Structure 1
C-alpha cells in the first residue's frame, strides 16, 4: 500500500479488536494482553489506565455510529467517577481521556467538570503542582512526567484558576524533567520526590524511559495548542524566556530522538537491545500530529514523522498472535515495565488507544487538537 492507504484497514482492525475486548472483559477494565493468545489481564477499577479503555469505547461509538456502542461507552465512563476524589495525579490520564471524546454526553461533561474542580483543590500552590499522590502507595509528594498529559486540559476546564494551576503544573515539571544541559548533559530523571525542602531525583524510572519522554512531548504539544494553557510562570523566567513552551518543544524534538531516532524506541534508552515500547511510539505519533498543527518550520517534519511511525506500527506490530484463534488488531510489543520484567512485549490498552486515536485523526474522524 502507498501513502496512507494502510490506515483505513488498520483502523478497522483495531475497532474489531475493541469489540472482542468488550465482550471478553465485561464490567472490568483491560490493562495488558498476552502477545500470543490476546487474553487480557484486567482490573476492577481501571487503575491509572481505565480512562483509555473508556476512550477506546468512545472512539468505537464514533466509528460505528451505533447507539448501543454509545451506551456502552457512557456506562464505562460512569464507572470512572470513583476516581474523582482519589489522591492521584493520574486523574489527568483517567478522567480527561475517559471523557474527552464523549461528544454531547452530559454525564461525561459533568464528570469532567467535577474532576477538574477536585484536581484544582488538590493543587499545591507551594510546590506548584498537583502532587503524584498516595492512591497507589508510596510517597505522595512526587513529580512525574506521566502526571502532566491529561491533567493540563482537565485543570484548564476549572476556569481561570484552573488554567493558572495547569500552567504552574506544566512549568514545574518542565523545570524538573527537561534539563538545562541538553544535549551536553544526561537526560534528567522523569520522577522526583520533594523531601528535605527540595526536589530530589528518583532512580526509577530511569532517565531513558521512552514513554516518559513521549508523555512530556504530548503535554507540551497540548499546551502549545490550547490558549488556556499558554500562560507563563509568574516569576523572572517568564520575563527572560517568554517563548518557553516553544523552546521546550524544540529541545525535545531536537534531542529526544522523536524525529531522527528509531520509529519504535526501546523501552529504556540505557538498554538499546532490550524490549521495544510500541505504546511510546503511539503516544509520540499523537504528539507529533498535534505539533504539526502548530505553525513553524518543524510542522511538516512532525507530520511526516508521525505518519512514518503509524505506518511502522500498523505494518509490523499490529497483528494476530501465534495461538490458534488469537484475535487480530492487536498492537503488541508494548512494554509495561522493563525494569520489573512486567508485560514487556504485550498489548497495552493505552498504546491501543493512542494508535486508534491517531488513525482516526488521519481518517478525519477526530480533531486531534481537542483530545
Structure 2
C-alpha cells in the first residue's frame, strides 16, 4: 500500500525525464532558486527558533510565531531544501531541530496537520517517525460518517467542517497509512467544493440536514482552486486518470498570478496561490504552463535577494496583503527545484 499511496515517488522513467528537464531548464530558474535559498539562510539567522510567517515588503523583516501555526511545515521544508542544496551538517541539524519542534501539533485537532507534517518532512531523509505518528493521528481523526478528517477545533469554531486548505498534504499523509481514507478525504472535498449547489471552499456539517456552505473563505479566494489543484495532483494515484479529466483546466486561473479575490478586481494579487498552482501543474505533467507561471513570478515579483512579494495572507482582515509569505517562498522554491532537476533522488 505504501508505495502506491505516497504519490510523490519517482519511477526510473520519471527520474530520467527530470534529468532531461534539468538539461533544458532556463537559466533564470536556477538563479532564482539560489536567491530564494540564500534568503532562507538569512531568515534562519533572523528568526532563531521561531517560525517565520510573513515579511514586510519594504524592510523584509519577518513576523514570526512561537509554534508555527498551520505554516510551520513550510519553514521546516525550506530548511530541508537548503540542507539538500548545501550538504552542510549545520544546515541539516537546523532542519532536524525545526522539524522536531513541530511535534506539538501531532495531536492537535486540525486537518491542517497535512500542511504541517507532509511538507515539513517531505524533503527530509530521516523524519519518518514523526511523519508516521502524525499520519496515524490523522487516521484516528478520520470520521467515517463525514468521509473525511474534519477541519477540527484547534483554531476555534465548529470542528465538523470541511475546508479546502485541509486537503493538500493531508491526502498523501493519510495515504501512507490508509489509502482508502485518503481517497475518501479527497473525493468528499472535491464533491463539496466543485458542487453545483454553491461555490464555496468551506462547508459545515449541520447534522440531519447535511452540508451547508460557508461564506468564509470567499468564493473568489485565490488559494481555493490552488489548494484543490495541488491536492488533486497529490491524490492522482488514488483516483485514476479518468477522475482528472478537465479538472486541471477548471482549477487553473487564466492569468499567471491571480487576484487575491476575484470579487475585488482592483485589489491585490496573490503570488502564493500562483506558486502552489505551478507546483501542482508540474506534478500533473503540465510543464509548459507551470514554467510560464514560474517565469512570471521570478521576473515580476521576486526580489534580487530572494523575496517573493505580492502574496496576500488575508484580504478580509487586511492582514499582510502584499507581503512575502512563508508558504509562497516554499512552493516557489519547491517548484523551481522540480523544474531544474534538483529533486533528483528524492522519493518523498
- TM value normalised by structure 1: 0.84
Partner-residue secondary structure (3-state), 1:354? helix
**2:150 matched residue in structure 1:** 131
**1:346 matched residue in structure 2:** 323
Q: CA offsets per residue over residues 115-146 of structure 1, 9 Å max, x none?
A: 11100000000000000000011111110111
Q: Following TM superposition, by how much is the alpha carbon of 1:180 offset from its aligned partner in structure 2, in angstroms?
A: 4.2
1:182-221 equivalences in 2 (<5 Å): 188-197=199-208, 198-221=210-233
Contact 2:204 2:214 in 1 (8 A): yes
- Provide structure 1 residue ranges, at least 5 long, that are not aligned to the other structure: 182-186, 232-242, 293-301, 321-327
Distance, in Å, in 2 between the alignment partners of 1:208 and 1:190 is: 9
Q: CA offsets per residue over residues 213-263 of structure 1, 9 Å max, x none?
A: 000001111111x3xx238xxxxxxxxxxx65223xx1341x3343xx111
Partner-residue secondary structure (3-state), 1:102? coil
Q: CA offsets per residue over residues 79-98 of structure 1, 9 Å max, x none?
A: 00111000000000001100
**2:50 matched residue in structure 1:** 28
Does residue 12 in structure 1 map to residue 34 in structure 2?
Answer: yes
Does residue 167 in structure 1 map to residue 186 in structure 2?
Answer: no
Partner-residue secondary structure (3-state), 1:8? helix
Distance, in Å, in 2 between the alignment partners of 1:256 and 1:81 is: 33
- TM value normalised by structure 2: 0.90
1:313-332 equivalences in 2 (<5 Å): 313-319=297-303, 328-332=305-309
Q: Structure 1 209/3 Cα, relative in aligned 2: closer, same or farther at 3 Å?
A: same
- Provide structure 2 residue ranges, at least 5 long, that are not aligned to the other structure: 1-23
1:275-290 equivalences in 2 (<5 Å): 275-290=268-283
**2:247 matched residue in structure 1:** 251
What is the Cα-based RMSD across aligned positions, in Å? Answer: 1.7
Contact 1:133 1:140 in 2 (8 A): yes
Counterpart pick for 2:260 among 267, 277, 294:
267
Does residue 49 in structure 1 map to residue 66 in structure 2?
Answer: no
Larger RCO: 1 or 2 (CA < 8 Å, sep 6+): 2
